[in-house]
Amino acid sequence: MKKLFLFALVIAIAGGGIGYYLWNKPPEGVAKKKPDFILTPAELLTDFQNNEEAANAKYLGKVVQLNGTILEIVPGENMEMQVILETGDLMARVSCVMKEDYNTFLERKLKRGDTVTIKGFCTGVIMDVVVDRCVIVN
């Protein structure tokens, strides 16, 4: 009887522990995820410009991996930094909201005009196509 009680106690603690872990788990990262789509920033933008509804169905919440040219690096004050990728369109770009902070990013010595491969979760289009929680692949 005592053994059974102990067993139940262990299960309960373990269960509680797993529950607590799951409940408090931070949003998942993209680093270990395989990209659902590998394309250029221009291709991604064109898809959204041609048919936003279809592009939403295709890309929303999916991992996109983009190889493109850095147009702008936004350090971000009190917010995540961003890497803006060129699309050839003057008004609409691809905004990559980065997971790492600006100081970590600076160590990569990347600058405007450099080619970079970035992956993240696509969240949609407003003025720019937004890719979120991005990491640098290359």
User: Which residues of the chain form contacts with other proteins (CB under 8 A)?
Assistant: 22-28, 56-57, 60-61, 74, 76, 79-80, 82, 95, 97, 121, 123-128, 130, 132
Whole-angstrom distance between the N-terminal and C-terminal Cα of the chain? Answer: 59
Closest distance to other proteins from the beta carbon of 1 (Å): 34
Nearer to other proteins, 7 or 20 (CB): 20
Choose between 75 and 88: whose C-beta lies nearer to other proteins: 75
118 class by beta-carbon count within 10 Å (0-12 exposed, 13-18 middle, 19+ buried) = buried
Return the ∠ at Cα 130 (arms to 32 and 88), rounded to 5°: 110
Question: Which of 115, 114, 131, 124 is CA-nearest to residue 52?
Answer: 124
Minimum gap (Å) between residue 4 Cβ and other proteins: 31
Q: Compute the least distance from the CB of residue 133 to other proteins, in Å.
A: 8
